[in-house]
C-alpha cells in the first residue's frame, strides 16, 4: 500500500475506473506527419515503417496487411486513424524483438563458438539443501529452451540402482531413469538444437555400466556417440540437431567413497587448496549495475563440489566401465596443477573445464586473456558457489565477457540475475544457442585476443524513450498495489553488459494512474553493444514499505528493433503477462 491513511471513512469510494488510453503527444505528431485527412494510407504507413521504424524493406503489401488487421476497429478500412494506429503500435505485430525471426546465427561452427543456455542442479525444485528432486524442473527448463541439463548421480539406498540428488543434503532423490525419460520426451519441445547432459558422477564402475545401459536404451539413435577417444574439435549445433550429448569426467580410476567424502568435506569447510593460496584472497571488482547482493553467507573459499574436482588423489587403480566411458562426447576435467595448467590449450583435444563463480572471479584478475583464448576452442562451465543454498544466482556477464559458454544457473532462482539469463537467450529465435561475438572467437596479429579489461571507445549510443504503459488494470487485482487508489508506477531502464556499459536509470513516478505516461528519454553509450542487455523494470512507488513489483523484461541489444515498439513485460518468475506492455522508442546513434 503506498497511500497512508490515518482514519477510516466509511463513505470512501475506491477510485478504480479506467480512463481510455490516450496517445502521447509525440505519437499524435507522428500520426499527423504520416497521414492525410486523418487517415494513414498504405503508402503513408509504408513510409512510416521505413523512416521511423527503420524497416528498410517494408512494402505497401505489408502496410496493407497491417491496416486489414485493424479493420474491425474502424469503419473506414482504407487506412489507420489515430486510434487504430495507436492500437497497432501497442500490438504483438510491433514488438521490440521479433519472435518470428527464428534462428538467424550461423549454426555450423563448433559448439565452443556459442553461449549455451545452461542449468545447474537441474533436478531441484527449490533450495539446495532440503527441496525435492524431481523431473518437473527439468521438463520446465527444456520447455523454456535450456540446452544443458545437470544431473548429480549417486547409488540409491540399496546400492543396486542410480538416483539423482544433491549429495549429502536433505534433498529427496528421484530415479535417474525417470529424469532420462523426461529429457527424451521434452528435449526438443522448444528447440531442435542439441541437449547436453552434464553428469556429476559419484558411482562405482558397476553402476556406471548400469547408467551406460540406461542411457543407450533410453536415447537410442538420438544419442551422439563420439567416434574416437576424444574430439579434436567439437561438432556444430547444426550437425547435432535433435541429438543428446553426454558430458562428464571420463573415469580413470574409481575413488573410494570415503576418500571422496573427506576431500569434499575439506573443500566445503573452507580448507585452502593450493590454487586458493596461489591466487590469494583478492576479490575482483566487476560491476553489473543494480544487481543486488543476495542473502546467504559469503565465504572466501571456493565451493569445489563439482565433478572435475574428484581428482586422481587415490592412486590405487580399479577397473572402469568402458561402455560408460565410450558414451562421453564432451570430456570434462582439469589438468593437474593450477590455473595455468587448467587453461592450457591442447591442439589435439577439445575439452571442458568447470570453475565456480568464485574461482572465475579470481582467475579473471590474472588470467583474463588466457580464459578468452581457452574458450575459443574449449568449453568453460561456470557454476554457482556452494553457499547459494537459496538457489540464487550470480552475474552471468563475468563469464560471457570471457567467452564462457556454459554459465550454469539455478533456473528456480528467480531474481535479476535470472532475468539477464532469460534476456540473453531471447536472442537467435530462443533456440538456446547464441553465437559469441567475433571478437571473442578471433586471434589477431601477434597472437592477440580480446582483453576484457581494456578500456574501449564507444561503438554506438542507444537512445531509449519510455512513453507509457498499459495492461496492469487487466492482469492484477485492482487492490494489488493500493487499497484505495490507482497505482503510482515508475520505470527503471538500464544496461547490463561490460562494466563500463552497465548502468541503471529511472523515470519519475506517475501518481494514481493505471495508464502511466512518462515521456522520458535516456541515452546509453555502449562500448561492447554485442554483449549488452537492455534491462526494463516497472515498480509501484510505496512510501511506507518496499516498492511493489509491476513487471520486467530483459532484451538483447543486438536484436532490438529500432523505432516505436511494444515491450511485453514478465513476472518475477519470467512468465509473460497477458496484457502488461510498455510503449518505447529505440534509436541507435
On the 0-12 / 13-18 / 19+ scale of CB atoms within 10 A, 242 is middle
The three grid cell numbers given for residue 367, joined into one nine-digit string: 588470467
Count how many residues are written for the chain.
589
Buried b (16+ CB within 10 A) or exposed e, 205-214: bebbbbbbeb
CA–CA dist 340, 356 (Å, integer)? 16
The Cβ of residue 279 has, within 10 Å, a number of other Cβ atoms equal to 20
Q: How far is CA 352 from the centre of its chain?
A: 20
The three grid cell numbers given for residue 85, joined into one nine-digit string: 494506429
The three grid cell numbers given for residue 421, joined into one nine-digit string: 539469463
Nearest residue to 539 via CA among 584, 483, 580, 576: 580
DSSP 21: P
Task: List, in sequence order, every residue forming a beta bridge with 514; answer none if it has no partner.
Answer: none
- On whether the CB atoms of residues 410 and 393 are closer than 8 A, the answer is yes
The Cβ of residue 492 has, within 10 Å, a number of other Cβ atoms equal to 17
CA–CA dist 268, 265 (Å, integer)? 5
Q: How far is CA 391 from the centre of its chain?
A: 15
On the 0-12 / 13-18 / 19+ scale of CB atoms within 10 A, 575 is exposed
The three grid cell numbers given for residue 368, joined into one nine-digit string: 583474463
The CA-atom distances, in angstroms, between 465 and each of 403, 460, 546 are: 32, 16, 26
The CA-atom distances, in angstroms, between 168 and each of 172, 198, 327, 355 are: 11, 19, 27, 21
DSSP 112: G
List the catalytic residues.
120, 166
Amino acid at each position: 500500500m503506498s497511500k497512508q491513511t490515518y482514519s477510516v471513512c466509511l463513505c470512501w469510494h475506491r477510485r478504480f475506473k479506467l480512463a481510455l488510453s490516450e496517445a502521447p503527444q509525440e505519437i499524435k505528431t507522428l500520426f499527423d506527419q504520416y497521414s492525410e485527412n486523418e487517415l494513414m494510407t498504405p503508402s503513408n504507413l509504408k513510409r512510416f515503417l521505413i523512416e521511423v521504424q527503420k524497416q528498410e524493406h517494408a512494402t505497401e503489401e505489408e502496410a496493407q496487411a497491417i491496416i486489414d488487421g485493424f479493420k474491425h476497429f474502424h469503419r473506414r478500412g482504407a487506412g489507420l486513424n489515430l486510434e487504430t494506429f495507436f492500437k497497432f503500435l501497442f500490438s504483438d505485430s510491433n514488438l521490440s524483438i521479433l519472435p518470428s525471426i527464428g534462428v538467424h546465427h550461423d549454426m555450423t561452427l563448433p559448439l565452443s563458438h556459442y553461449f549455451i543456455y545452461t542449468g545447474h542442479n537441474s533436478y531441484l525444485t527449490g533450495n539446495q539443501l532440503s527441496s525435492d528432486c524431481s523431473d518437473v524442473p527439468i521438463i520446465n527448463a527444456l520447455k523454456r529452451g535450456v540446452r544443458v541439463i545437470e544431473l548429480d548421480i549417486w547409488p540409491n539406498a540399496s546400492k543396486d540402482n542410480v538416483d539423482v540428488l544433491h549429495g549429502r543434503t536433505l534433498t529427496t532423490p528421484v530415479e535417474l531413469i525417470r529424469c532420462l525419460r523426461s529429457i527424451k520426451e521434452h528435449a526438443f519441445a522448444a528447440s531442435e538444437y542439441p541437449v547436453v547432459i552434464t553428469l556429476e558422477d559419484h558411482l562405482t564402475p558397476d553402476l556406471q555400466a548400469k547408467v551406460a545401459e540406461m542411457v543407450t536404451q533410453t536415447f537410442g539413435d538420438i544419442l551422439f556417440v563420439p567416434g574416437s577417444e576424444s574430439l579434436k574439435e567439437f561438432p556444430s549445433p547444426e550437425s547435432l540437431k535433435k541429438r543428446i550429448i553426454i558430458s562428464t569426467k571420463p573415469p580413470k580410476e574409481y575413488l573410494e567413497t570415503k576418500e571422496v567424502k573427506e576431500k569434499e568435506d575439506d573443500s566445503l569447510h573452507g580448507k585452502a587448496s593450493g590454487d586458493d593460496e596461489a591466487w590469494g584472497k583478492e576479490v575482483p571488482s566487476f560491476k553489473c549495475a543494480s544487481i543486488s547482493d543476495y542473502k546467504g553467507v559469503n565465504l572466501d573459499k571456493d565451493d569445489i563440489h563439482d565433478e572435475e574436482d574428484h581428482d586422481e588423489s587415490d592412486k590405487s587403480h580399479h577397473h572402469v566401465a568402458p561402455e560408460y566411458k565410450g558414451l562421453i562426447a564432451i570430456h570434462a576435467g582439469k589438468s593437474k596443477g593450477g590455473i595455468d595448467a587448467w587453461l592450457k590449450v591442447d591442439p589435439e583435444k577439445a575439452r571442458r573445464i568447470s570453475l565456480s563463480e568464485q574461482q572465475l572471479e579470481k582467475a579473471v584478475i590474472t588470467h583474463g586473456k588466457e580464459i578468452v583464448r581457452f574458450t575459443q576452442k574449449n568449453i568453460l562451465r561456470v557454476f554457482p558457489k556452494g553457499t547459494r543454498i537459496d538457489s540464487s544466482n550470480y552475474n552471468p556477464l563475468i563469464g560471457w565477457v570471457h567467452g564462457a559458454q556454459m554459465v550454469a544457473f539455478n533456473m528456480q532462482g528467480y531474481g535479476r540475475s535470472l532475468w539477464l539469463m532469460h534476456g540473453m537467450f531471447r536472442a537467435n529465435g530462443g533456440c538456446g544457442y547464441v553465437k559469441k561475438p567475433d571478437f571473442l572467437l578471433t586471434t589477431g596479429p601477434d597472437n592477440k585476443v580480446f582483453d576484457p579489461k581494456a578500456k574501449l571507445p564507444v561503438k554506438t549510443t542507444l537512445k531509449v524513450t519510455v512513453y507509457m504503459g498499459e495492461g496492469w488494470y487487466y492482469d492484477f487485482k485492482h487492490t494489488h498495489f493500493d487499497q484505495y487508489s490507482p497505482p503510482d508506477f515508475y520505470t527503471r531502464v538500464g544496461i547490463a553488459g561490460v562494466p563500463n556499459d552497465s548502468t541503471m536509470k529511472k523515470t519519475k513516478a506517475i501518481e494514481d494512474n493505471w495508464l502511466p505516461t512518462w515521456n522520458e528519454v535516456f541515452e546509453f553509450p555502449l562500448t561492447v553493444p554485442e554483449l549488452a542487455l537492455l534491462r526494463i523494470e516497472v515498480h509501484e512507488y510505496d512510501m511506507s514499505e518496499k516498492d511493489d513489483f509491476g513487471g520486467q523484461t530483459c532484451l538483447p541489444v543486438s536484436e532490438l528493433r529500432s523505432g516505436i515498439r511494444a515491450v511485453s513485460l514478465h513476472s518475477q518468475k519470467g512468465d509473460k503477462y497477458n496484457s502488461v506492455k510498455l510503449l518505447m522508442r529505440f534509436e541507435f546513434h
